[in-house]
Amino acid sequence: MMVWGTIIAAYLFLAGLSAGAFLTSSYVARKYPEATIIRKVGRFISPVLMGVGLLLLIVDAEAGLKDPLRFIYLFTNFSSVMTIGTYFISFFMMAAAYIALMEFLKKDVNKIVEYIGIFFAGAVAIYTGFLIGVVQTVPLWNTAILPILFVVSGLSTGIAATMLVSAFIDKKMVHHVISVKKIHLSLLVAEVFLIFTMFLITSSTNVAAAESISMIVSGQYSMLFWVGLIGVGLVLPIVIEALELLSKKKFEHDPVGLQVAASGSHGIAATLITESAVLAGGFILRMLVLLAAVPISFF
C-alpha cells in the first residue's frame, strides 16, 4: 500500500540532495580552495534544488493551495515534525541563498552564516528521514535506521550532483578532489550496509514489516530494488569509484602519470556514469520506501 506518491519521493530526494550539495561545497572550500568550480556548483545548485523540492511539495498539497491557513499552521504547530522541519528548511534556504548570492557577486561569505547553513543542512538531511519515520503505523518507516540511511544517501547524492555538474565545466578538477571521492565511496558502502541492516531488523518486528520487506526483496518491487538500487545505484558506482581510487594510488608517486590518467576521456565518462547512477539510486531508494509502505492492521 502506497501512502505517499512520487512527488513526495522527489521532495525527500531533492531536500537530502540539496543539503548534501551544500555540505560538499563547504568541505571543498576548506579542503581544496583551488577547486573553485566544485565549490560554486555546490553552492548554486543547493538552494535551487531545495526550492524545486518545496514547489513540488506545495503542488502536492492541493488542499493547502485552496486553504492557505494550512501553510500558516505549518509554522505554528510545534508538536509536529513537519513544523520543526519547516523551520529547518526555512533557515537553511536563507543561508544557502545568501551564500549563493555572495558567490555570484564574487564577495566574501560571512562565516557565521556559513556555519548556520552547515548546521541546518545537516538538520534538513536528518529531517527527511524523521518526516516519515514518525508514522508509527508503518513499520518500514518507523525505524531508527531510516533517518541515518537518508542522511547517508543525501550526502552521497549531494556529492554526486555537485561532481556531475562540475564535470561538464572542469572535467580535470573532479579527479583531483581525492578525499571527496574516498568519502563518497565510504558513503556508498555504508548505504548498502544500512539498507540490509534495516531490512533484517525491520522484517522481524511484525507481519506488516515482513510484508514490506518481502515486496522489496522478492516481490513486485524486487527488480527495481536489485537492478535499480543495488546494481545500478550502489554496486556500479562503488566498483567505478574503487577502481579510480586504485588507479590514483598506482600513480601517486608519478605526477605526470596521475595527470594523464585523470584527464583521459574514460575519466569523464566514468564520472558521468558513476554520479548519474548514484542519483538514480537515491531516488529509487525513496520510491521503494514509499511504495512498500504496508501499515499495521488492527483487525
What is the DSSP code (8-state) at residue 29?
Answer: H
Is 60 a member of any domain? yes
Give the integer Cα–Cα distance in Å for 130 and 147. Answer: 6
Element at 167 (helix H, strand E): helix 145-169
Structurally, the chain folds into a number of domains equal to 1
Is 161 a member of any domain? yes
pTM confidence score:
0.90
Domain holding 74: CATH number? Answer: 1.20.1630.10
pLDDT of residue 264: 45
Is 137 a member of any domain? yes
253 burial type by CB count under 10 A (0-12 exposed, 13-18 middle, 19+ buried): exposed
Q: Which DSSP string do the residues of 187-255 spell out, in sequence order?
A: HHHHHHHHHHHHHHHHTTT-HHHHHHHHHHHTSTTHHIIIIIIIIIIIIHHHHHHHHHHHHHHHTTT-H
pLDDT of residue 7: 86
Contact between 131 and 166 under an 8 Å Cβ cutoff? The reply is no
User: Helix or strand or coil: residue 295?
Assistant: coil
pLDDT of residue 298: 54
Is 299 a member of any domain? no
Is 1 a member of any domain? no
Closest among 181, 196, 281, 289 to 235, alpha carbons compared: 281
* Structural domain boundaries enclosing 194: 6-291
Is 124 a member of any domain? yes
pLDDT of residue 266: 46
Is 96 a member of any domain? yes
Count other Cβ atoms within 10 Å, centred on residue 230.
Answer: 17
pLDDT of residue 50: 95
Is 297 a member of any domain? no
pLDDT of residue 251: 57
pLDDT along the chain (299 residues), means of 10: 72 96 97 96 97 82 55 66 86 97 95 96 92 84 93 98 95 90 97 96 90 95 97 97 84 52 60 96 96 78
